[in-house]
Amino acid sequence: MVIQKRLDYGYSGYQVPPMPQFPKSAKKKRSVRKKADENQMCPIDLLATIAGKLLSDNENSTLSPYCINETSKDVVKQEAFCTKVPIKTEAFDQQSCNNTVLDPEVIEKQISCGPDEHSQASGATNSGPASLSVKSIISDAIAEDSVILNNGVKIGYPSDATISRCGSTSKSPAFAKAEGEGDGLTRPLDSENQIPGNGLEINAPEMYSLEDPMYLDAKHLALVSSDSSAEVPACRNHFPCNSPLPKPESGIENVVHRDDDDNSSGCSHPSSTITNKACRPQCIGDHGVRKLSMKYRKAAPNMMKYDRVSNYDIETKAVLRSKKICYTRQRTQRSYFKRRRLIERCMISASNRGFFSEDISSLCEKNSIKIEAHDPHRTSLEAKGASPTRIGQSSSYNSVKLSIKSFKVPELFIEIPENATVGSLKRTVMETVTAILKGGLRVGVVLQGKKVRDDSKTLCQVGISSSEKLDSLGFTLEPVPTQTQPPPSLKRSGDPRLLCLDEAVQPLARIPPLDLSIGEASEVTPQPVLTSCPESDHDSVHSRTDASSLDKANANKLALVTVPPISVEALTVAPVPKPRRPEHVQRRIRRPFSVAEVEALVQAVEKLGTGRWRDVKLQAFDSAKHRTYVDLKDKWKTLVHTARISPQQRRGEPVPQELLDRVLSAQAYWSQQQAKLHHIKSSSAAEAETTSCLLL
DNA sequence: ATTAGGG
DNA sequence: CCCTAAT
Q: What digits encode the pLDDT tens for the residues A210-251?
A: 223 332 223 232 222 323 332 222 323 332 333 333 333 333
How distant, in Å, are the alpha carbons of A314, A384, A646, A647 from that of A641?
33, 77, 10, 11
Query: Is residue A632 scored above 90 in pLDDT?
Result: yes
pLDDT value at residue A471: 63
Segment among A285-294, A391-400, A593-602, A628-637 with least mean pLDDT = A285-294
Q: What is the pLDDT of residues A123-171, one digit of tens each?
A: 333 333 344 454 454 445 444 443 333 333 333 323 333 222 222 323 3
Cβ of A339 near strand B (under 7 Å)? The reply is no
pLDDT value at residue A259: 41
Answer yes or no: are the C-beta atoms of A399 and A130 closer than 8 Å.
Answer: yes
Residues 6+ apart with CB under 8 A from A609: A670, A673, A674
Answer yes or no: are the C-beta atoms of A151 and A67 closer than 8 Å.
Answer: yes
Measured from Cα to the C1' atom, the residue closest to B3 is A611
pLDDT value at residue A413: 65
* CATH code: domain of residue A636: 1.10.246.220
Distance A311 CA to C4 C1' (A): 26
Q: Which residue segment(s) compose the domain that A602 sits in? A: 595-695
- Structural domain tally of chain A? 1
Q: What proportion of chain A, given as a percentage, has pLDDT over 90? A: 9
The reply to whether A584 falls in a domain is: no
- Residue A52's closest CA among A154, A175, A143, A165? A143
Query: Is residue A424 scored above 60 in pLDDT?
Result: yes
Cβ of A345 near strand C (under 7 Å)? The reply is no
The reply to whether A688 falls in a domain is: yes
Cβ of A621 near strand C (under 7 Å)? The reply is no
Q: How far apart are CA A264 and CA A628, in angstroms?
A: 19
Segment among A187-191, A624-628, A675-679 with least mean pLDDT = A187-191
* Nearest nucleotide, CA A294 to C1': C2
Q: What are phi and psi of A634, to 5 degrees?
A: -65, -40
Protein-proximal positions, strand B, CB < 7 A:
1-7
Q: Tell me the torsion sign for CA atoms A120, A123, A129, A135.
A: negative
- Residue A417's closest CA among A589, A278, A234? A278
Count the Cβ atoms, other than its own, within 10 Å of residue A514.
Answer: 20
> How far does CA A216 lie from the centroid of its chain?
18
pLDDT value at residue A475: 67
Answer yes or no: are the C-beta atoms of A22 and A72 closer than 8 Å.
Answer: yes
The reply to whether A275 falls in a domain is: no
Distance A295 CA to B7 C1' (A): 14
Residues 6+ apart with CB under 8 A from A381: A402, A403, A404, A405, A470, A471, A473, A474, A475
The reply to whether A677 falls in a domain is: yes
> How far does CA A454 lie from the centroid of its chain?
41
Q: How far apart are CA A301 and CA A595, in angstroms?
A: 21
Answer yes or no: are the C-beta atoms of A370 and A364 closer than 8 Å.
Answer: yes
3-state secondary structure of A321: helix
* Nearest nucleotide, CA A335 to C1': C3
The reply to whether A385 falls in a domain is: no
A617: Cα within 13 Å, side-chain hemisphere: 17
The reply to whether A648 falls in a domain is: yes
How distant, in Å, are the alpha carbons of A236, A340, A436, A613 from that of A625?
20, 17, 47, 14
What distance, in Å, lies between the first and last C-alpha atoms of chain A? 113
How distant, in Å, are the alpha carbons of A9, A53, A107, A401, A442 from that of A27?
14, 21, 6, 21, 23
Cβ of A231 near strand B (under 7 Å)? The reply is no
Q: How far apart are CA A634 and CA A665, in angstroms?
A: 17
Cβ of A685 near strand C (under 7 Å)? The reply is no
- Going by pLDDT thresholds of 50, 70 and 90, the confidence category of residue A65 is very low
- Going by pLDDT thresholds of 50, 70 and 90, the confidence category of residue A480 is low
The reply to whether A651 falls in a domain is: yes
The reply to whether A640 falls in a domain is: yes
> How far does CA A508 lie from the centroid of its chain?
21
Answer yes or no: are the C-beta atoms of A416 and A452 closer than 8 Å.
Answer: no
Residues 6+ apart with CB under 8 A from A162: A18, A19, A21, A78, A80, A101, A170, A171, A172, A175
Q: How far apart are CA A209 and CA A143, in angstroms?
A: 20
Query: Is residue A368 scored above 70 in pLDDT?
Result: no
Between helix A595-608 and helix A613-620 the angle, nearest 10°, is 130
* Nearest nucleotide, CA A618 to C1': B2
Q: What is the mean pLDDT of residues A395-415?
A: 62
A615-630 burial, b for 16+ CB within 10 Å, e for fewer?
ebbebbbeebbbbbee
**Bridge partners of residue A28, in order along the sequence:** A107
Q: What is the pLDDT of residues A187-209, one digit of tens each?
A: 332 332 332 323 222 333 332 22
Cβ of A634 near strand B (under 7 Å)? The reply is yes
Could you give the residue ranges of the DSSP H alpha helices within A25-133? Answer: 32-39, 43-60, 94-97
One-letter-per-residue 3-state SS of A530-565: HHHCHHHHHHHHHHHCCCCHHHHHHHCCHHHHCCCC
- Going by pLDDT thresholds of 50, 70 and 90, the confidence category of residue A454 is confident
